[in-house]
Chains A and B, each alone.
Chain A
């Protein structure tokens, strides 16, 4: 099964994988080969990729993604998102700092629009922090 992770800046990943766990509007779904065709909405969250059936959970590769669209058919998964960061591209300290900044922004928002934007930022950096955390744990394990 092929996974294509496409962002605005180009194709991030285009490889054969065994299992993919995707964050959708209805909750997380795990997709294996020969899945029935579905088109669904991606929400900001974590995409986990298992390359071989024998890989343990520690070997899962994780990406932090923003919202987007997911198209699944029997042999391909296309994920369209604004941004996708591989866990190795995120440092925990930097993600933590960005989250703090976003939270501060959320508290100081004076109108609905600013608040909405701050919410989005908070969501995004929460996800990034989570991914950075997963990355650290996997390396240790």
Chain B
């Protein structure tokens, strides 16, 4: 049995670990709430973009347009979104597992693929893979990315798509369903799809300047950007919520461990006292 002194120092060290995990849990909880609020803020953007697009589509502008035409996919681009830091439970592992499953499926169908990694964990993973060419990595994005960062990522993807180097662009990220459930998802952003929305009477006979083509291109870009932005925020909210739960488990474990160790320490102390008493009374007996 370990000595009382050793046990005491172990209790102290587990106790301070518990303080750290508890603090990380609180930080993750507040960051998650902020990420959730930001998700709501970006909805007007995609709504207005969908409206204009629905109107353009009704005029036949999207027909046979390269950005909307689905061709046989021979080459794909993945945008994989993970976190920069670990200690978030199975968060990164789940995303990377989904990514790996896609890569395997591609290999079976002999589709070549490219990857843009967002987050340090994704880039560390993708750099070691043989079957995909890494086209860019983005690390240390702020908690609430700005248009400049989104636009940089989308430009890279857009150029590859327009030049015909890839036939499809997919996002792999974690969808935030609730604070208890987060699911890794694969979402196609190009060729572009959108949910038709109602078009207000007032813009039905609008003119397009300089021409329909340019407006269409610009709208599609906004829509794709808003999808990426949404995915980034979802991923962020999922990351924080999973980290919160992982840290809560760690805190609970530490508490249990402290309890067990305290019990063991008390037992050890009591055993030592009992032994001492036995020795004294044994000694006294022998003196008689």
A residues bordering B, Cβ < 8 Å? 4, 6-11, 24-26, 36-42, 66-69, 71-76, 78, 80-83, 113, 117, 120, 124
Contact = CB atoms under 8 A, between A and B. Distances in A.
B219 interface: yes
B42 A9 contact: yes
Given A10-B38, A69-B218, A73-B203, 6 more contacts: A8-B146, A9-B146, A25-B210, A39-B206, A39-B215, A69-B52
B206 A38 contact: yes
B210 A40 contact: yes
A33 B58 CA distance: 27
B49 interface: yes
A94 B18 CA distance: 42
A11 B218 CA distance: 19
B282 interface: no
B34 interface: no
A82 B151 contact: yes
Interface string B128-163: 000000000000000010111011100100010000
Contacts of A42: 218
A8 B48 CA distance: 12
B209 A71 contact: no
B147 A7 contact: yes
A39 B225 contact: no
23 contacts: A4-B48, A6-B45, A8-B229, A9-B41, A25-B209, A25-B210, A37-B204, A37-B206, A39-B207, A39-B209, A40-B208, A40-B210, A67-B218, A68-B218, A71-B51, A73-B202, A73-B203, A80-B45, A80-B49, A80-B222, A81-B147, A82-B148, A124-B148
Contacts of A72: 206
Contacts, number: 108
Interface size class of B (residues with CB under 8 A): 35 or more
A74 B206 CA distance: 10
A41 B45 contact: no
Contacts of B285: none
A84 to B, nearest CB: 9
A129 to B, nearest CB: 16
Interface string B213-247: 01100110010011001000000000000000000
B109 interface: no
Contact of A37 (B205, B210, B222): B205
A4 to B, nearest CB: 8
A42 B226 CA distance: 17
B44 interface: yes
B288 interface: no
Contact of A38 (B42, B45, B146, B207): B207
